[in-house]
Amino acid sequence: MPGVMLRTILVDLFVVADSAEALHRNLAGLCRLLELDERIETDENRQRDAALKWLRQNPGWLLIFDNVDTEEAAIAVENLLSQLSGGHLLVTSRQINWSGSLVVLPVDTLSVNAATEFLLDRTAARRRQQSDDNVQASVLAETLDGLALALEQASAYILRNRLSIADYLKKWHSQREIVLTWSDSRLMQYPKSVAVTWQTSFDQLIESAQQLLQHVAWISPAPIPESLLEMPIPDGRIETDPFTALAELESYSLVTRTNDSFSVHRLVQDVTRRQYKDPEHIRLTETLRWLDAAFIGDPQDVRDWPVLNPLLPHAQAVVEYADAAGMTTPTARLMNQMGLMYLTKSLYREAEPLMRRALAIDEASFGEDHPNVASVLNNLAQLLKATNRLADAEPLMRRALVILIESVGAEHPYSRTVMNNYIVSLQELGMTKMRLKRILRTCSVRDEAVIAGAGTAFVD
């Protein structure tokens, strides 16, 4: 409903304008607040015209049109501009495309420090105080990623239910759908929850934009290279140009764009995943294949890193969701590729869990003696060797070599590569030439010439 505050030289007028009808109705409602003669009228058109006339005749006002989130409401606001003069107009909206008559000022998310301070101040009167409130508020601020509406909704929920901040965080993790849809317009001073606000914007999107949002909801909130959109989504049905879909998402503030990338707020992603009921994981499957198709090139070749580096956080995010959903293909392949890239970058902590999980998936999917398993075994062995765990690496290399010799033969180029890696490792472990030859024979190496040649680098 409209509200008014009188100051010494300025009148602030607040009008909810989430639809054209609400805009005109609440403008008409200003007659009562301004005590105009037309307040007793029953014709809202006459009341609206009277309010606009008062604005033209009484300079020094600030008129706020709030929540102008639909195209219809935005058009209604623009149509009124010629009738407004003598004051200042402020429009709050998720729409970003406006005529030159209005100056667009993007509102950024709050920093962690600012969001933490807001949560502590906003809930001070009624929250259940605890000794670690500062720490918990900082955690909640990071969790909500500085989104103003989410911070206000969380604060109102804490106040309404007399919770501690830690209690709210527990509910956030265990009952998130309930928390995201909860709303109290009086406490929040905003008529919609995060989930309902999202739904209002989502319902207005063209179908291709809806589908694109449902895909990018499964990747990281880190900047997404626009070049990813040049890769068609496997099995996807986005018929419109993907850049048109991206522009549509930007127009409703569902993505933020820079020169060559865009990002989606983590809460927008969260709500999108929850609101789209997809028991068969169709969108997740398509997104996984999309990132797998885009992650092309040699992860160990620095010349390919300009393409692969920006995709790393997104590939990491989607494989985690896919693995949790029980998807094995191409999850393991993508994990192995990322593991190799992290290994080459000497980021061993990041590489090892990916390689170990890829190994477990491939063993379960193909059997323990499959060539795919040998490849991951060899990669994991190289990581163990690089982290001074050569004794742990040796049995993995031996097993990889046995699998390869029995499946593709000792003369295969990859078998030769693994064999050479193994021989070097045995030498580093202090193996003698005779011991080496015995080990190679146990690895199913039958070619005596190969065995003899393998020992030439050794000195007894």
Condensed to tens digits (0 to 9), the pLDDT of residues 6-57 reads 333 357 788 888 889 989 999 999 999 889 998 888 899 999 999 999 999 9
| pLDDT category of residue 3 using cuts at 50, 70 and 90 | very low
Q: Parallel, antiparallel, or unpaired: how do β-strands 61-66 and 88-91 relate?
A: parallel
pLDDT exceeding 90 applies to what percent of the chain?
60
Q: Could you tell me how many residues make up the chain?
A: 460
Domains of the chain, by residue range, sit at: 3-91, 112-193
User: How many Cα atoms sit within 13 Å of 325 on the Cβ side?
Assistant: 20
Sign of torsion over alpha carbons 231, 235, 240, 244:
negative
C-alpha closest to that of 3 among 75, 66, 94: 66
Window from 43-57, 178-192, 269-283, 323-337 with minimum mean pLDDT:
178-192
Residue 446 has pLDDT above 60, yes or no: no
The predicted pLDDT at position 107 comes to: 80
- At 164 the three-state DSSP class reads coil
Q: Parallel, antiparallel, or unpaired: how do β-strands 61-66 and 11-16 relate?
A: parallel
**98 vs 419 pLDDT, higher one:** 98
**Is the peptide bond prior to 330 cis by the omega test (within 30 degrees of 0)?**
yes
Which residue bears the tokens 């170990």? 356
Residue 85 has pLDDT above 90, yes or no: no
Report the C-alpha gap between 140 and 169 in whole angstroms. Answer: 7
C-alpha closest to that of 211 among 241, 182, 236: 236
Residue 439 has pLDDT above 80, yes or no: no
Q: What are phi and psi of 77, to 5 degrees?
A: -65, -50
Element (H, E) at 128: none
Residue 460 has pLDDT above 90, yes or no: no
Report the C-alpha gap between 435 and 457 in whole angstroms. Answer: 13
The predicted pLDDT at position 443 comes to: 59
pLDDT digits 0-9 by tens, 361-399: 999 999 999 999 999 999 999 999 999 999 999 999 989
Per-residue pLDDT, averaged over 99-122, amounts to 91
Residue 342 has pLDDT above 80, yes or no: yes
pLDDT exceeding 70 applies to what percent of the chain?
90
| pLDDT category of residue 457 using cuts at 50, 70 and 90 | very low
Residue 1 has pLDDT above 60, yes or no: no
Secondary structure letter of residue 311 according to DSSP: G
Report the C-alpha gap between 76 and 23 in whole angstroms. Answer: 8
The predicted pLDDT at position 7 comes to: 39
Q: What are phi and psi of 332, to 5 degrees?
A: -65, -40
Residue 433 has pLDDT above 70, yes or no: no
Are the CB atoms for 256 and 146 separated by under 8 Å?
no
Per-residue pLDDT, averaged over 142-157, amounts to 91
pLDDT digits 0-9 by tens, 354-371: 999 999 999 999 999 999
The predicted pLDDT at position 410 comes to: 78
Are the CB atoms for 229 and 290 separated by under 8 Å?
no
Q: Outline where 387-447 has alpha helix (H).
A: 390-407, 413-428, 433-442
C-alpha closest to that of 235 among 211, 200, 217: 211
C-alpha closest to that of 208 among 253, 233, 239: 239
Q: Provide the total of helices (H) and of strands (E) in the chain, helices listed first.
A: 23, 7
Report the C-alpha gap between 362 and 292 in whole angstroms. Answer: 16
The predicted pLDDT at position 386 comes to: 95
- At 215 the three-state DSSP class reads helix
